[in-house]
A and B are shown apart, each in its own frame.
Chain A
Amino acid sequence: MRIFKNVKNTFVPYPQILIPRSSSLIPDKLYHNMKDKQKKGLFQPELIRAALWQSVVKLDPRQMFRNPVMFTVEIGTAIMLVVTILSMQTGADTALMGHPGYNFVVFLLLLLTVLFANFAEAFAEARGKAQAESLRKTRKDTPAKKLGNDGNISIISSSALRRGDQFVCEAGDIIPTDGEITDGLATIDESAITGESAPVIREAGGDKSSVTGGTKVLSDRIVVTVSVQPGESFLDKMIALVEGASRQKTPNEIALTILLAGFTIVFVIVCVTLKPFADYAHTPISIAAYVSLFVCLIPTTIGGLLSAIGIAGMDRALRANVITKSGKAVETAGDLDVLLLDKTGTITIGNRKATHFYPAAGVKEADFIRYAALSSLADETPEGKSIVELAGKEATQGLSIDGARMIKFTAETRSSGVDFPDGMRIRKGAFDAIRNLATQAGNDLPAATETQVSDIAKQGGTPLVVALNEKVMGVIELQDIIKPGIRERFERLRRMGVKTVMVTGDNPLTAKYIANVAGVDDFIAEAKPEDKMNYIRAEQEQGKLVAMMGDGTNDAPALAQADVGVAMNSGTQAAKEAGNMVDLDNDPTKLIEIVEIGKQLLMTRGTLTTFSIANDVAKYFAIVPALFMASIPALQHLNIMRLYSPESAILSAVIFNALIIPALIPLALKGVEYKPIGASALLRRNLFIYGLGGVVVPFLGIKLIDLLVMMFI
């Protein structure tokens, strides 16, 4: 049995690994990638070309049917096509059929509206796919050293590996596919997927046994069991999600679609009843005008952009290096109430550091420091190193442990130390372990030391007692180092309405101290694996949505229970299967970004819906007077935009309606910015920008377009 489960403590080839990445820092490489992309702009030509073709393919009514709003526009387009042909054949310019040329223009504009909406969806798909493909590219057809049952190694293509196969990787090899290490330990460069240049350690048996295809083995030799069938990796699943074949509408998307369908029906009623109304008022209205009015009124803006928004949400998650297994998970993330975070590695740097030496009564401080340093010179753990560091160069100069025997830490003795040839024995370890050692040897325990120990614990530190020849010499204080900036992040989460809970194996005293310093809302001390599960259940009982991050097999049930379970890519296969997201960066604070992405997704839907519906006010003022001005001159007072003619008014409204879709594609893809300013303030802000803006913008837009259209009529 290994004593230190935490691989970081056993062997540390690269000191960088100890430096935690703050989640706000996007991994270097990826960051550069993103910058490159930003240079190219949102609209890359090759993506646009792909999307253009797709937007024509998507005209297939069977596909359009999924989007009721745009489907009705397509029907309107078809009607206008028939009307155009009929009016051309008869050549008669009747009141109902209208002028052939005018009909044709309306037909074209409606077709354009549908195409724009299709383009938005196709373009979002293309972007998502491109992003996923660029990740997948790393793992295409690398040679794999397959381990046969007889122990022979054969070289095959990675695509020929099946689940359950075993392969071998040695220093310099690219890992051919996802799997779990069944034997050995290796340092691995995962920069291909995470963008993080510092290598990580993966080893058999622990919670860090997973390897990802496309990453590179830097040292040692490992045997890996393939965990996925070809084409079934998380990335493959995500690409399928983005592509639309397996993309399902999320519950929220369904609800919004119903709302939009409802509005569409209202406008069906408005337009159908307008016919008898107009007859009563002795006003002839052409079919083109009816269809135009209808298309302008129904919420085509949000209807056309709805699926693009959903895809863009998943895409944004992917850009943050998070693979989501469903669109719903992203949506749920926006609603999270509680976040469960492991203390170690998330809130604290993961290693404790020595901060103070407290010599016992009658022991000179310099002596104590010397003993402490001697006991730690050969100690490769970060704690040991930090003791030497704290002792300082002066104290450690000239110290030698040549010929001394190292006593390793074991779970039974709970102490480590050195035995010198001259008979000097130094031990350092947990308080009760050293106390036993001292009392067994018949030595008294200094009372001051005991209070010192409890004082340190109260302040969140870990006391390490040092004994020389079974006599207590003093206490070293180890402190957890809280990650810089973590407090502000929790503060931000709090303003978003998310409660943070720290999970730690520490005793309640220590846990409370760290919880206070880090600014978490709650903590679970002396946590056993099942405690997480129970906590999640208890919160869910109260209707809260809970997220957690985990990597171990024993985290799997809790990951599955949590509403959003983010598994680290380095975690076990069981953990990855249980969660609904996989974080390629293995960054525990990533949840904060995920929450924001979820909120952005919902906000973008909400604001564009508001904008779309608010637009109708101006469209009414353009079209209704246009329809009736000729026969009811009194109604020209409603033409407050002073549009040129009935024809130009209707055309301008239809053109505006079509153009607003591509104009809003960037917003749909980037998402509306989330600000943690409180829900009411956010509502005020968005209501002002998208509600009031939605009323005002089309008045200006339609008037401007009318000024242009005027020149051609």
Chain B
Amino acid sequence: MNTEITGILAAFFITLVLAWPLGRYIAKVYGGERTWTDPILGPIEQLFFRVSGIDTSREMGWKEHLKALLTINMLWFLMTMFILMNMAWLPLNPDGNPSMTPDLAFNTTISFVVNCNLQHYSGETGLSYLGQIWLMFLHFVSAASGMAAAAVLFNALKERQTKTLGNFYNYFLKSNTRILLPISIVVTLFLMFNGTPMTFEGKDTIVGLQGDTVQVSRGPVAAFVAIKHVGTNGGGFYGANSAHPLENPNYFTALVQMVAQFIIPLAMVFAFGFYLKRRKLAMMVFGVMTGGFLMLVIPNIIFEMKGNPAFTTMGVDQSLGAMEGKEIRFGAGLSAYWSILTTVISTGSVNAMHDSTMPLSGMNELLAMMVNGFYGGVGVGLLNFFIYLIIAVFIAGLMVGRTPELMGKKVEAREVKIAMLTALLSPLLIMGGTALAAWMQVKDPTLPWLNNPGFHGFSEMLYEMTSANANNGSGFEGLGDNNPFWNIATGFVLLLGRFIPIIGPVAIAGLLASKKYIPESAGTLKTDTATFGMMVFSVIAILTALSYFPALALGPIAEYFSL
């Protein structure tokens, strides 16, 4: 078999095999059961709780959970703004990098607080080490926020009627200490041994083969890159992200990083099944997600490995695939796989330029972010999927002549309202944001945003807004985005695109939890079947297609047919 394909299959199956036991472990962590990490990490957590005066036995309602989540996020926002705007004089700045402008700091702060990591700067010149370390801290806590919210969802869907859903700080801290931290340490070690820098010394000077002197940026890169993937954050240490030779030195580190970013989103699905003892349901969710993932990733691998037809007609050898914007050490196949992996799970780290992928590959990357629930980011992916589940269960329930039920809870007007509002948000932000940008571009064609006018320029704007809404963070980097419009507009899209899709599902879960549990009967529509999986998939496909078809037609589809 083609070695490129073998590499891709290995990346997928290694993750799958590791995610299963990890899922079981995560379920135990959130379920408060004993795990092998208790003796090591238990005392550390106790120390945290004692110092902060948090009583983890005090259970919270869904509103309290959200209040806690939003409060700590607000604090991080303020602290981050301060650091980014003052890094120039703060310590740990050996390279003497400047502070950020207010609009860039606003964008970067929000972007990292919401686990998106849209980067309108380059790490080498735009951040001090203090800035980098602080962002690394956000890598952890923003991922843990999403995971804690998912843990609340898990708790709410248990077979009982309740108003309290566990303690948020408990879920939050344990997501950090028990899940993100141990995996990150392992990944960091892998990266360090493969040449990724891990130092606080400033730039290094090397002399190239031609005898010229080159300044090479260094820093605590390995740790940063590890958590950027494990927490599906995606914000790189260097501007070129995982295409940079120090951030991602070889094929093996690429493999490690792909496993690292994919493992928790997958494990969360399995954890969902273990935690609720509904493994068949988790398999349904996994099936739908994987089906969607494969339908996006397989075409991309084919498109990219086949190469650009325009070049073929020019007589250029395409045996390596479409190599524009790709690293030769990764190849077209792996880069294509990565391009969908990083967009389905909202990481947004890149090892190749998405701007240069084939038009329909670009469309698939867009679709992956528009759905944002085929696995999805850590924790939040399941929350997004939950919204689709609510809509699907509602329509399917009606179709079999029964008031819709999900896991023994009746789905009624309030839940449908919240689900619909949440589902509405993505088209509103993506289409609305892109429309605003397109309108400004039409009004003032001299705006310096687009290097590629026409369909591709439209795709770039659409991609930026989609990436912001999905909290993905990758970009069609042809877009000139470090200016007040894009910094501020995407900043707001990021904020709404992050918190509404957390608030909505948690609210629904809280409402469902407070309802009476109805045991299954022969008339109940089973949600853990392939049939229902088909239903959920159809809902996702139709909802996405109907919302974005015109925009996609004017961007990637028009570009494809014009090629």
Contact = CB atoms under 8 A, between A and B. Distances in A.
A535 interface: no
B531 A687 contact: yes
B184 to A, nearest CB: 39
Contacts of B531: 680, 683-684, 687
A494 B522 contact: yes
A673 B377 CA distance: 42
B403 A252 contact: yes
Given A259-B391, A277-B554, A334 B442 contact: no
A497 B518 CA distance: 13
A602 B401 contact: yes
A105 interface: no
Contact of B400 (A637, A683, A691): A683
Contact of B413 (A258, A274, A686): A258
B529 A680 contact: yes
B458 A277 contact: yes
A557 to B, nearest CB: 21
Interface string B524-563: 1110010110110010001101110111011001100110
Interface stretch (A217-225, A370-378, A608-616): A608-616
A632 interface: yes
Nearest to A249: B413
Contact of B398 (A256, A267, A617): A256
A334 B547 contact: no
B538 A691 contact: yes
Nearest to A607: B399
Contacts of B399: 603, 606-607, 610, 682-683, 686-687, 690
Nearest to A335: B403
B525 A270 contact: no
Contact-size category for B: 35 or more
A265 B432 CA distance: 12
Contacts of B522: 494-497, 678
Contacts of A497: 521-524
Interface in B360-409: 391, 394-403, 408
Given A279-B439, A683-B531, A638 B553 contact: yes
Interface in A655-688: 674, 678-680, 682-684, 686-687
B546 A273 contact: no
Contacts of A624: 549-550, 553
A51 interface: no
Nearest to B551: A277
27 contacts: A251-B412, A255-B411, A255-B413, A256-B394, A266-B427, A269-B427, A270-B427, A273-B434, A276-B436, A276-B438, A335-B402, A497-B524, A599-B400, A601-B401, A606-B395, A606-B396, A606-B397, A606-B398, A624-B553, A628-B553, A634-B562, A635-B561, A637-B561, A678-B522, A679-B524, A683-B535, A686-B400
A384 interface: no
Nearest to A671: B401
B294 interface: no
Contacts of B562: 634
Interface residues of A, number: 75
B122 interface: no
Interface of A: 251-252, 254-256, 258-259, 261-263, 265-267, 269-270, 272-281, 297, 331-332, 334-335, 337, 494-499, 542-544, 598-603, 605-607, 609-610, 613-614, 616-617, 620, 624-625, 628, 632, 634-635, 637-638, 674, 678-680, 682-684, 686-687, 690-691
B537 to A, nearest CB: 11
A339 to B, nearest CB: 12
B550 A277 contact: yes
Contact of A543 (B424, B517, B545): B517
Contacts of B524: 497, 679
A267 B427 CA distance: 9
Contacts of A494: 522
B260 to A, nearest CB: 35
Contacts of A606: 395-401
A446 B455 CA distance: 103
Contacts of A625: 553
A605 B398 contact: yes
A126 to B, nearest CB: 26
B497 to A, nearest CB: 15
Nearest to B519: A542
Contacts of A278: 554
Contact of B521 (A279, A337, A602): A337
User: Chain B's interface: helix, strand, loop or mixed, by majority?
Assistant: helix
Given A259-B420, A274-B550, A544-B519, 10 more contacts: A254-B413, A255-B413, A496-B522, A542-B518, A599-B401, A616-B542, A620-B545, A632-B558, A679-B400, A687-B534
A261 B423 CA distance: 12
A540 to B, nearest CB: 9
Contact of A334 (B401, B428, B546): B401
B431 interface: yes
Contacts of A280: 438-439, 441-442, 458, 554
Given A262-B420, A543-B518, A679-B402, A272 B547 contact: no
A686 B534 CA distance: 12
B203 interface: no
Contacts of A256: 394, 398, 416
B277 interface: no
A255 B517 contact: no
B417 interface: yes
Nearest to B522: A497
Contacts of A266: 424, 427, 543, 546-547
A5 to B, nearest CB: 36
A230 B425 CA distance: 53
A290 to B, nearest CB: 11
Contacts of B413: 251, 254-255, 258
B434 A337 contact: no
A566 to B, nearest CB: 19
Pairs of residues from A and B, 4 with the lowest C-beta to C-beta distance, nearest first = A497-B523, A606-B398, A599-B401, A262-B420
A255 B518 contact: no
A634 B401 CA distance: 45
A599 B398 CA distance: 8
Contacts of B516: 543
A494 B525 CA distance: 14
A255 B434 contact: no
Contacts of B517: 543
Contacts of A683: 396, 399-400, 525, 531-532, 535
B417 A680 contact: no
Contacts of B545: 617, 620
Nearest to A596: B401
A684 B535 CA distance: 9
B421 interface: yes
Interface in B481-531: 516-519, 521-526, 529, 531
B133 interface: no
Contacts of B543: 266
A679 B520 CA distance: 12
A259 B561 contact: no
Given A265-B424, A496-B523, A276 B416 contact: no
B406 to A, nearest CB: 13
B276 interface: no
Given A602-B403, A686-B400, A620 B518 contact: no
Contacts of B408: 543
Contacts of A614: 542
B518 A679 contact: no
B435 interface: yes
A603 B423 contact: no
A682 B431 contact: no
B431 A269 contact: yes
A682 B434 CA distance: 41
A602 B405 CA distance: 13
Contacts of B521: 337, 497-499, 544
B434 A680 contact: no
B402 A602 contact: yes
